[in-house]
Structure 1
Amino acid sequence: MPLILVCAAWGVFWGSWSALLPLVKADLGTTTAGLGLALTAVPLGAIPAMALTGRLARGRERTALAISTVGFALGILAIGTVETPFGLGVVLVVIGVTSGALDVALNLTIGRAERESGRRLFQPVHAAFPVAVIAAAPATGFARELGLGLQQTLVVIAAIVLLSALTLARLPMRDGPVPAVERTGDGRAWQAALLLGGIAGCALIIENSVEQWSVVLLEDHRHAPVLLSSTAPAAYMLCLTAGRLAVQAMPRLGLRPLYLLSFVGGGGGIVLAALAPVPWLSIAGFALTGLALGPVVPALLSKAAEGDHRGTMVSAVSTVSYAGFVVSPLLVAGLTTAVGLPYAMALLGLFALPLGIRWFREGMPVSKGRT
């Protein structure tokens, strides 16, 4: 439960953040371009922090998670104190550092908890994030309607994050030394980490594109009403959560059939959503994409955590896969310039191909020199 609460609190901020951006922009008196430039500071802080956390958190996963969660809460409070776009950029570097550290520390802690308890935890913990995002965005909008200002809203969110950090004291986990020898100590382990992280990153490219572009697609290209268009990312997130919980309820379902389901449903779903002639069919496509792709990243992290006592594999997969979030906006923007948004999003179905290839290769007989 503490890990679920931390993941949910993390999602509360990122769900609220999109609804708070108009307030941030108005308070700073900046342009959309200036705000966009400041927002690039988040991945700039996150990527190096993710790589460093994987090394520092070994054997002290719970402590690292608690520190990064508290730091994240303090960064949230600092947002309300900035007065210039440059100041916002500096604070968002801190947000990126602490959020990236929280991401890796959370995955390392889940992995260790799985190994120590023998229970499957990645799917239910990661299911908490999209649920929190779905709930937080409209709740923040409602708070704005009631007249709650930026600073007051950030204080509430920071308090939620801090409270989640306090629950970590209930985790039956203690800091301790890590084994000197493990299966992830050679070059093949890094190849495996790059492979798993790359596959997860492909799934995240599609996920991020749905979050950022689905409403624009429906409003501008399918002429859907605003209310109907706004249900597209929510449908994706709800089905993403349902997919993770469904896989959690099927412990016998291995990674190979999950590859196939994600390849067919994720790739086919995003193509359907992008090219469907009517809005409701596009929303169904987004829902199918979430249902099929949702379980992939947690399943890959769980696979990486098997026997990974030093956290090398989990931190590497987390860091590599995060590149999907960084690349996705630029990729879709570039493709849109060339072929338009509907065909740009349809082409993202190609990023499901690695899942299909992995399904095929894992079904091949193991030969000498190939593992």
Structure 2
Amino acid sequence: MNASNAMLTAIRGRWAVAAIFLANGFLTGSWAPQIPVFLTRLEITKFTLGLLILLFGAGAVTAMTWCGHLISKHGSRTVLRWFGLCGSLGLLVVALAPNVPLAAIAMFIFGGSIGGMDVAMNANAVVVERRLSRAIMSSSHGFWSLGGFAGGGLGGFAIQHYGHLAHAAVVTALAFAVIAVAVRHLIAEDRPQATEHHKFALPANPLVYLVGLMALLTMISEGAVLDWAALYLRQELGADLAIAGLAYAAFSGVMAIMRFFGDGVRNRLGAVMTLRASALVAAAGMLIAGLSPSPWLAIAAFALCGFGIANMVPIIFSAGGNQEGISSGTGMSVVTTMGYSGILVAPSAIGFVAEHFSFGPIFVAMSGLLIVVLLMAGLAHRAEFAPDATPAE
């Protein structure tokens, strides 16, 4: 393959993985406005809802734990094809669940497919970065946030006017179509990584686990907005369903815009400085949201939080995928698994606290977690982009 054809293939692969980020975000964002309907349709408490969301996280973490091993054996392109096509069906399966036991199974499957898809698409984005010799991680996450913005912003309106099943069916059809086209153009690793993993094993490098801790603290905060912001606005600040859905939409929309500028900001300021500034802004937004007396101020505060969190996860994931002595798939698997453990642990804990107190203090506490990430930001120095020494041939 000559240099020009290799570059064209890499560019197609860049847009293919961006499309899958978009579809994943759209599926995740479309779940947020389904949550209040899910609560009332199954006639469950917020604590039970938290346990069901816990199963989503359990499914995600189960898939993520093995995803690095699968990528080492089969490559990120193949694994992403499997999980992407399965993941597009997850929301519809949840929306069809008629009772709590079947909803529990559906949530586990939905979480597993989305979680495996997440590891594989981030690992494939690292492959594209190396092939293009430039950073694309933040803008790839920008497409994810753009999908989340579309899913969250349109979802409340669609559910209110057409019902939750019609909404889930349309989301599924759109996501499946995008993923089915995109997977045909994904690029593969230049060389196999299976030599690192003849069998499943955890990496020995301790730094990857500290980077994973930063992902955990960041994604607990992000998950709190995804899973509980709509209920916070609806039940405690008096917003209707359509306005309540705007909380996550504002968060994701601002996040999307900032992520498209993120690669340039990181190249200019450096990964560590960008992460520190981002964590400070995100903490301020979360604090204001938790103290807000009105839904519109809370929506604006969640948007500010999205402004800050926007480039935190891409920088942390890029650091995880570029650790010394381990493959990008394995490093990404550890960091994303730990990050999504926030979605595993936080929902049930938040549901329990909200059952006895309120959501406001919870969001204030989330701001404290983001300050911890600020203090750990020096560990993200591996996110300073360095391409492969040998370009694609």
Moved more, 33-42 or 295-304: 33-42
1:47-96 per-position Cα deviation (integer Å, ceiling 9, x unaligned): 11111111011251101101111122344554566554323322332222
Aligned positions of 1:266-281 closer than 5 A: 266-277=282-293, 280-281=296-297
Q: Are residue 2 (structure 1) and residue 16 (structure 2) matched?
A: yes
* Partners of 2:246 and 2:30 in 1: CA distance: 16
SS in 2 for 1:173: coil
CA contact (8 A) 2:252 2:306 kept: yes
Aligned positions of 1:1-371 closer than 5 A: 1-20=15-34, 30-33=42-45, 37-58=51-72, 60-76=75-91, 78-79=93-94, 82-144=97-159, 147=162, 150=165, 153-163=167-177, 164-173=179-188, 176-178=191-193, 180=195, 189=205, 191-218=206-233, 230-250=245-265, 251-277=267-293, 280-306=296-322, 308-309=326-327, 311-336=329-354, 340-359=358-377
* Partners of 1:4 and 1:361 in 2: CA distance: 27
Q: What amino acid does structure 1 have at the position aligned with 2:336?
A: S
Distance apart, 1:109 and its partner CA: 0.9
* Partners of 1:86 and 1:221 in 2: CA distance: 29
Q: What amino acid does structure 2 have at the position aligned with 1:346?
A: V
Moved more, 11-20 or 113-122: 11-20
* Partners of 1:186 and 1:323 in 2: CA distance: 16
Moved more, 279-288 or 299-308: 279-288
Distance apart, 1:155 and its partner CA: 4.0
Distance apart, 1:3 and its partner CA: 1.1
Q: What amino acid does structure 1 have at the position aligned with 2:62?
A: P
Distance apart, 1:316 and its partner CA: 0.4
Q: What amino acid does structure 2 have at the position aligned with 1:131?
A: L
* Distance change (3 Å), C-alpha of 1:229 and 1:288: same
Q: What amino acid does structure 2 have at the position aligned with 1:71?
A: C
1:229-253 per-position Cα deviation (integer Å, ceiling 9, x unaligned): 5533322222222222222233223
CA contact (8 A) 2:27 2:88 kept: no
Supply the RMSD in Å over aligned alpha carbons. Answer: 3.3
Q: What amino acid does structure 1 have at the position aligned with 2:311?
A: P
* Partners of 1:149 and 1:235 in 2: CA distance: 21
Moved more, 58-67 or 334-343: 334-343
1:109-138 per-position Cα deviation (integer Å, ceiling 9, x unaligned): 111111222121211111122222222244
- TM-score normalised by L of structure 2: 0.78
1:279-326 per-position Cα deviation (integer Å, ceiling 9, x unaligned): 554443322221112101111111222265352111100100101122
Which structure has the higher relative contact order (CA within 8 Å, separation 6+)? 2
* Distance change (3 Å), C-alpha of 1:276 and 1:328: same
SS in 2 for 1:32: coil
Q: What amino acid does structure 2 have at the position aligned with 1:311?
A: G
- TM-score normalised by L of structure 1: 0.82
Distance apart, 1:15 and its partner CA: 2.4
Where structure 2 has 5 or more consecutive residues not aligned to the other structure, the ranges are 1-14, 382-393
Where structure 1 has 5 or more consecutive residues not aligned to the other structure, the ranges are 364-371
Moved more, 91-100 or 34-43: 34-43
Q: Percent identity?
A: 24
Which position in structure 2 is the counterpart of 1:368?
none
CA contact (8 A) 2:234 2:240 kept: yes
Distance apart, 1:209 and its partner CA: 1.9
* Distance change (3 Å), C-alpha of 1:42 and 1:266: same
CA contact (8 A) 2:84 2:117 kept: yes
Distance apart, 1:347 and its partner CA: 2.1
* Partners of 1:145 and 1:340 in 2: CA distance: 26
* Distance change (3 Å), C-alpha of 1:280 and 1:253: same
* Partners of 2:293 and 2:153 in 1: CA distance: 28
* Distance change (3 Å), C-alpha of 1:54 and 1:341: same
CA contact (8 A) 2:36 2:230 kept: no
* Distance change (3 Å), C-alpha of 1:56 and 1:334: same
SS in 2 for 1:306: coil
